[in-house]
Amino acid sequence: MPFTYLVLGAGMQGTAAACDLARHGDAGRVVLADADLDRARAAAARVDALAGRAVTEALPLDAARPDAAAAAFRGVDAVLSAVPYPLNPPLARAATLARACFCDLGGNTAAVLRELELDAAARAAGVSVVPDCGLAPGLAAALVASGVGRLSRCDEVRIRCGGLPETPRGSLGYTLFFAPEGLTNEYTGRATALRDGRRVELPTLEEPEWLDVPGVGRLEARTTSGGTSTLPWTYEGRVRELDYKTLRHPGHFDRIVAMRDLGLFDQEPVEVGGRAVVPRELLHVLLRMRLTDPAARDLVVLRVTCRGVVDGAARTVTLEVLDRADPATGFRAMERTTGFSAAAVCALQAQGAVPPGAAPIERAIPPERYLDEVRRRGIAISVAL
């Protein structure tokens, strides 16, 4: 039977997710909600053109108002949130009250843990809540679950992921393919990992290493926050080493560290010309101005390496995604691997394939079922044993 979906946020990822649900989610109706109605209408028109049918409706909605969101969620099978992560916990609660399934792009583990507290309420309502369903966190966690499941015992998990311009641009070697707030969130705070089987907090932008990717070249990896999401909790005591690092073109991280050391990531206001200015907010404005290029082509590299034992013999399982922009649809690799991946979760929720309750993706959905859905969307996943 056709399903009704509501996508919050008509930006890059939200539009990609809405399009995927219209094309692959057995959708009878897709509501694309945004505080900016003109942006929602433009995105809805694009989705309908790509889907080849009139299936998308634009809705004015301020996601910062959970009461208004709860009213919009009634009668909806599943909600996908592509709005900033601080809004997700109250939105997940609003969806649960409206008896609609809920998933989001996430990106902040503290917010995710708050959403998982809805487990009992979601079970009682008969709906599922699955946070952190984008690329990494999200698709990466499912790859980890698949890799760990192929081993009798898993000792080590390494997750390396990056959304990159095909051609490095400027001194940062970077182009924005998602909101700058998400970028600075990754570069600050602490990175949760497993060391000797126990959860630890690591500083971000540390532990540099190099990774050679065929067809891409040499990339640098450093610790960033949010990428492991709930994996350290899920695998604590079962996996000895687990960590996540972001991939960038060489030279990027050194310049980012210099910006951090100058205080540009700080959130305490400073006085500038008699006015209070928050350095990070100013940085977000400048990043949008200087690093946005609609014509830039991107690529996504995601490599998960799981080392352990099978039948007493040492074994390594490597799962990898290398995705590029799709000129046929105009969707970039970051939109495909983030928006489409989240839409795959949302569709499975609407279909009843995800049990009621609140759970992270690595526990909510059998990994091979989910990865098959991702492959069906044209995202190749290689597995080397």
Question: pLDDT of 133-155, one tens digit each?
Answer: 999 999 999 999 999 999 999 99
CATH number of 139-250+292-324: 3.30.360.10
pLDDT for the residue numbered 294:
86
Confidence band of 63 (pLDDT split at 50, 70, 90) = very high
Tokens of 189: 């705070």
- Which pTM was predicted? 0.94
- What is the share, in percent, of the chain residues with pLDDT greater than 90? 93
pLDDT digits (tens, 9 = 90+) for 151-161: 999 999 999 99
- Rounding to the nearest 10 degrees, give the CA dihedral for residues 333, 339, 343, 346: 150
CATH topology of domain 3-133+335-380: Rossmann fold (3.40.50)
- For residue 61, the model assigns a pLDDT of 96
Are β-strands 298-310 and 313-324 bridged in parallel, bridged antiparallel, or unpaired? antiparallel
CA distances from 329 to 12, 139, 335 (A): 13, 21, 11
Q: Residues 116-139: what's their mean pLDDT?
A: 97
The average confidence (pLDDT) of the chain is 95
Alpha helices by DSSP H, listed for the chain, are 12-24, 37-51, 66-73, 88-97, 109-116, 119-125, 139-149, 180-187, 231-235, 252-261, 279-291, 333-335, 341-350, 361-364, 367-376
Domain ranges of the chain: 3-133+335-380, 139-250+292-324
Indicate the pLDDT class of residue 177, thresholds 50, 70 and 90: confident
Amino acid at 183: L
